[in-house]
Chains A and B, each alone.
Chain A
Amino acid sequence: MSAKEQVLENYSSRVYKNRKEHMVEVNNNDNNNMITANVRAVPGIMTHRGCCYAGCKGVVLGPIKDAVQIVHGPIGCSFYAWGTRRHKAKKVEDTDHYLQYCFSTDMQEADIVFGGEKKLKKAIEEAMDIFHPSTIFICSTCPVGLIGDDIHAVARWAETEYGIKCIAFSCEGYKGVSQSAGHHIANNQLMRFVIGEGDREPKSKFSVNILGEYNIGGDGWETERILKRIGYEVVSVFTGDSSIEDLKNAHKANLSIVQCHRSINYIAEMLETKYGVSWLKGNFVGVEATIKTLRDIAKFFNDPEMTARTEDVIADEINLIEDDMEYYKSKLKGKKAVLYVGGSRAHHYQLLLNDLGITTLLAGYEFGHRDEYEGREVIPTIKPDADSKNIESITVEPDQEKYHLYLPEEEVNRLKEENFLGYYGGMVKDMKDGTYMVDDLNHFETEEFIRLLKPDIFFSGIKDKFVAQKSGVLSRQLHSYDYSGPYAGFRGAVNFARDITMGIYTPAWGLTKAPWKTTPTLVGTLGGEA
């Protein structure tokens, strides 16, 4: 019986029927690796998923440093998103930086009963009075939608009253089935109210956006460092260490590089439709992956000098990390891993693990859609269900004035046909036969798969980290990087390798069993048995 069948057989028939659709033994099935994803979690199953608010405010908006982000709701939602996701940002002149602050309307019972719009307006007044921001975001939480506060009207009022930018995000926690809905809502509003408003001309034609890069532990900085070394101009990063001003100019770039497909593919697509900015799926996690991405970018710009420079930089960077990587590989080769991360890292980090000789046995997303598992080619076959139908989907038209193409249209089309531009192949193509993809892996399945597959490392988040470690399996967090990083790019690969090596070789693992538990205390046991 496969590990998958062994895990499933513990379930009641109803749960069995539901959960088996979320598990795929790669290339060992009759369904062409089809998986069920982005559907509601089973109540009581102990999912690790968060909510729409987390996806919108916590993920996409949170890193934008110069917006005062007021969470309209009771205190919790705002408190939990305060400094807990490690999107780093630097303070620079002429740009506000509010990431050390946590703003909330702290709704009370009376606000639920009589409505909270008045308090929200008052909170904006007070924020203007104390902080004088140029931009305010309003993010709604569960009760706001239910009591019918019109946060969009309040945003329009604030814009007129103060001449600032004020954007409302209706990201109530119950919307959709996971963080994913929140990404979509954030994307829509940024497209509507931010992108395209800037008029800062890039200095070079080698101008790029990095999309879906939130600068966790400095990842975005390492990515930018490499790109700048080659000679690219980074117009905007969505949204790690970003300011509204940067984001406004995203349409001026000639290419978007998508790191996290799940959270930002909406903007990537709309940037292309409206402004002609092509996108390609890059990946700066892993040495080989970073090299491939750099070569792909060079291929797009198709400039001999940049291509040569790309190879020079690659050679130099490799030279700098080679010895370290060889050393760590010698310590890690042959180890086995399980990955369970949000919507993109479960795929990306497999490539970095490959660089180190570590095999992946199982990988899963909390809230990836089928395209993250199976590739964008399956998008036409995805049927929206009742839970996500209510998530607004916006369409954009080409902008007559601002539309621009770097490559001729025929060339773009050819590169799209080749699945070079505008394409993501998903996780499955990088996974070995017989390994597992599991969607929305819950606590029970985590325990069971760890027991059955016996990985050396379980890569996941804070909620299950200590579950794995109590069972004697090293766990490293791939959301927070356990307060380390960067893990992206060339330098990041070394950091990552160092961190898992110290985890595997920590002496305390050998002290888990007390000596009196392993030393025979009874005289007369069978010889050699301990």
Chain B
Amino acid sequence: MLDYTTKEIKPREALRVNPAKTCQPVGAMYAALGVHKCLPHSHGSQGCCAFHRMFLTRHFKDPAMASSSSFTEGASVFGGGSNLKTAAKNIFDIYKPDIIAVHTTCLSETIGDDLNAIIQDIDIPEGKYMVHTNTPSYKGSHITGFSNMVSGFIHYLAKSTGKKNGKVTIIPGFTNPGDMREMKKIASLMKVPFIVLPDTSGVMDSPMTGTFTMYPAGGTKVEDIIELGDTNLTIALGELTSESPAETLKKKCNVPYKTLPLPIGVAETDAYVMALQEFSSEEVPYELEEERGQLVDIMIDIHPYTYNKTCAIYGDPDTVLGIAEFVLELGMIPKYIVTGTPGILFETRAKELYAKYGVEDYKAKEAGDLFLLHQWIKNEKVDLLIGGTHGKHIARAEDIPLVRAGFPIIDRYIHSYMPIVGYKGAMRLAELICNAILDRKDRDDAEEDFEMVL
């Protein structure tokens, strides 16, 4: 397995090997699927759209609907305006969405299609909407694309009437429907009126009923996005993903925002709860306090197995930082953390986090890849890997247990229904981590040391 990965680390400037990111448009597609009766549209050649739908379908084991402008060589030379016009007409005719959310690819970005101008020329049926964002694949990652699409919705739709509605805007970051449900549950328990954008719960985890529904029940409604302009505050969860759309809403409608890390683990869930409490001035309900207490109880119960265990975490920046903080709370040492998404802020935040826990022996890398991570591990092994499916080769090559968390997980089921955020999500993450460690112990212990009770 991965036999050509060398222990010796030679600097690489140009060759990317086994990336820990993918490109912008799939993030935009995911964000657009979090809007009710929205059809994501990929303005480029159709291969991108096919790949992105596959990526999402493989992760969620659910349909991911999206259309494409289907560029040909002609359109690539002369511009894709007429492709988008034809597409819009066909989409409204045949698929009848309330809103089409257009994103771009490296093709339409390189030729410089002016989406603003093209969309203005399109005859959009009464009561329907068409929005867009630019998502050049050669900048950032899928996280950037997600962020851009959320900003795109706000830019086109959010309106301020001058009268506040007493609600909080929650931007949940690039997370699973299970996480979005958990974030909403906490806000509901705190009795805070809120609008979540985007919200893929009820869309990418829709139930089996025997009838396929093109636009499932979930997703943020267009009228709610419009209303975002009147919300009193935005809570942007995941600084590297959600701050930029929060900033867009501030610029456009003067809604102030508060940026928090993804609520993974005790401290960051506490921060989320406190931010909600500050807004609502409601007491934190006992249910949440109970959940929190259960979580801490669990953490103390399992400490003999987690304390000082080392791990490597890879994936999307906010998720990796969140998981790193939670494992630190568990007494573990996240020796290596890697994100493929570029942006030096990741390393800055990592440094602050490690300083908080007094950990000095670590490596954190933005714009890194799994080849580099594997090389680090070859030089100094860790006890556990935490990330998406693409790390499974390293797990096997180095015989390290893998805990699957983040995007994409394409070789396991059910995960997207379950949260890793909130106290409940932290419990699940703790269970996954502890089980992986104990399963390994059961496998490795000598027969005479094999224990019934652990």
Residues of chain A having any CB pair with chain B under 8 Å: 10-12, 15, 40-54, 70, 73-80, 82-84, 91, 96-98, 100-109, 111-112, 119-123, 125-127, 129-131, 141-143, 145-147, 172-177, 386-387, 390, 443-444, 447, 462-472, 512-513
Are the CB atoms of A105 and B14 closer together than 8 Å?
yes
Residues of chain A within 8 A of B68, CB atoms compared? 41, 43-44, 46-47
What is the minimal beta-carbon distance from A160 to any residue of chain B, in angstroms? Answer: 19
**Given known A74-B23, A101-B18, contact A467–B106 (CB-CB < 8 A):** no
Tell me which of B14, B53, B107, B214 contacts A122 (CB under 8 A): B14
Q: A15-B94, A46-B95, A143-B110 are in contact. Are A387 and B73 (CB under 8 A)?
A: yes
User: With A44-B69, A46-B67 given, is the CB distance from A146 to B18 under 8 Å?
Assistant: no
Smallest beta-carbon distance B146→chain A, Å? 14
A125 proximity list for chain B (CB < 8 A) = 14
- Closest B residue to A47 by beta carbon equals B46
Query: Which stretch (B5-13, B162-170, B189-197, B328-336) binds chain A?
Result: B5-13
Interface check B87, CB cutoff 8 A: yes
17 A–B pairs (Cβ distance < 8 Å), ordered by A: A43-B84, A43-B87, A44-B88, A46-B66, A76-B25, A77-B47, A79-B21, A83-B390, A111-B138, A112-B110, A122-B13, A173-B48, A173-B107, A174-B76, A177-B72, A462-B54, A462-B58
A249 to B116, CA, bound (A): 55
Residue B75 interfacial (CB < 8 Å): yes
Q: How far is the CA of A141 from the CA of B46 in the complex (A)?
A: 13
Interface positions of B from 76 to 116, Cβ below 8 Å from A: 76, 83-84, 86-91, 93-95, 105-107, 110-111
CA distance A67 to B398 in the complex (A): 24
Q: B322-361: which have CB < 8 Å to A?
A: 340
7 new A-B contacts at CB < 8 Å, known A105-B16, A125-B14: A42-B90, A98-B4, A106-B19, A121-B14, A174-B107, A466-B57, A512-B208
**B209 and A512 within 8 A (CB):** yes
B45: interface (CB < 8 Å): yes
Q: Which residues of A lie under 8 Å from residue B70 when comparing CB positions?
A: 40-44, 47, 49
B210 at the A interface (CB under 8 A): yes
Q: Closest Cβ of chain A: how far from B118's Cβ, in Å?
A: 12
- C-alpha spacing A381/B212, complex, angstroms: 41
Identify the closest chain B residue to A463 (Cβ): B53
B141 neighbours in A (Cβ, 8 Å): 75
Bound complex: CA A443 to CA B94 (Å): 10
Query: In the complex, A387→B4 CA distance in Å?
Result: 41
Q: Which residues of A contact B209 (CB under 8 A)?
A: 470, 512
A78 and B19 alpha carbons, distance in the complex (Å) = 9
Whether the Cβ atoms of A100 and B210 lie closer than 8 Å is no
Q: Kindly state the separation between the CA atoms of A145 and B74 in the bound complex, as whole angstroms.
A: 13
Q: Judge whether B75 and A174 touch: CB under 8 Å.
A: yes
* A50-B51, A101-B17, A463-B57 as given contacts; A42 in contact with B105, CB under 8 Å: no
Shortest distance in angstroms between A345's beta carbon and chain B's nearest beta carbon? 17
Instruction: For A142, give its contact among B15, B107, B210, B340 (CB under 8 Å).
Output: B107
The answer to whether A390 and B73 touch (CB under 8 A), given A46-B95, A142-B107, is yes
Complex interface: chain A residues within 8 A of B393 (CB): 100
CA distance A104 to B340 in the complex (A): 13
- For B210, the chain A residues whose CB sits under 8 A away are 470-472, 512-513
B86 engages A42 (CB within 8 Å): yes
- Asked whether any CB of chain A lies closer than 8 Å to the CB of B188, the reply is no
Q: For residue A81, which residue of chain B has the nearest CB?
A: B51
